[in-house]
Structure 1
Amino acid sequence: MAYASPLLRDPARTYREIDLAGRTAAADGPALVQLLYEELTQALRVAAWAADHKQFATRSERVTRATAILFALEANLDFEKGGDVSRILARFYTGCRKQVIEASLGTEGARFRAVAAELEEIAGAWRQARAA
């Protein structure tokens, strides 16, 4: 029995992954952080939709994606240059991860949307800082 790769079975997913790979390859540090915030909030919004619609496999996939992005954001904080800001962000990312994991144990999307909203505030501040 031949098995098709998941990418071949889901052309839309393949396109999204190729698009993301292209955008991350061209992104510098600040642009990459912005892209990670966008991907993170999108993952949380899809997890919320999936929870509301009992699409548990999709919810699980998006929770995994969101927590991986949160780990990546935290792992790349520069505590020497960032000082207090880096420490505050580290605590924030840890708290967000905890909220995402707790939300994944439930069956409603509201908690995912709440975390996404918090992250969108940070992403907005990040955009403004980059534009200045």
Structure 2
Amino acid sequence: MAYASALLRDPARTYREIDLAGRTAAADGPALVQVLYEELGQALRVAAWAAEHRQYQTRSERVTRATAILFALEANLDHDKGGDVSAALQRFYAGCRRQVVEAAIGTDGAPFRRVAAELDEIAQAWKQARAA
């Protein structure tokens, strides 16, 4: 019964979680990375909004989600196959995490949006590489 009441309290969140679970369940490695980039960008944009509107709990939740995704992306880099590209991405992800954590203490959404824009560039390159 507690589970049902949790579903009714925030049906939009429940839908997002079900949608994410469905997209990740059938995703192969490259498709999963694409889903992670999408989720990461969304988390950062919501964190920006929340910071500007002083919605501290939402900001904290989205910062936690964004940093967790950044850690996951970094942890799954294949340094044997990726070489210099993997090393560059590792530094990039670490820099993004640092910027997100620093932005988490303020009320300016711009740093979150800057990181999201930088990650969007990587995501687009990843999507194009998969299509080729």
TM-score class, shorter: over 0.9
SS of residue matched to 2:106: coil
Give, as a single letter, the amino acid of the residue that structure 2 aligns with 1:15. Y
Moved more, 7-16 or 49-58: 7-16
Partner of 2:111: 111
Moved more, 100-109 or 6-15: 6-15
Unaligned residue ranges in structure 2 (runs of 5+): none
SS of residue matched to 1:105: coil
Q: Deviations for 1:53-96, whole angstroms, at most 9, x for unmatched residues?
A: 11111110000000000000000001101111111000000000
Q: CA deviation at 1:3?
A: 6.1
Q: CA deviation at 1:129?
A: 0.4
Partner of 1:100: 100
Please report the TM-score for the alignment, with normalisation by the length of structure 1. Answer: 0.95
Give, as a single letter, the amino acid of the residue that structure 2 aligns with 1:83. G
CA distance in 2, matches of 1:115, 1:6: 32
Q: CA deviation at 1:104?
A: 0.3
SS of residue matched to 2:27: coil
Unaligned residue ranges in structure 1 (runs of 5+): none
Q: Deviations for 1:85-111, whole angstroms, at most 9, x for unmatched residues?
A: 111000000000000000001111010
Identity %: 80
Q: CA deviation at 1:9?
A: 2.0
SS of residue matched to 1:31: helix
Give, as a single letter, the amino acid of the residue that structure 1 aligns with 2:68. A
Supply the RMSD in Å over aligned alpha carbons. Answer: 1.4
Q: Aligned pairs, how many?
A: 131
Q: Does 1:74 align with 2:71?
A: no
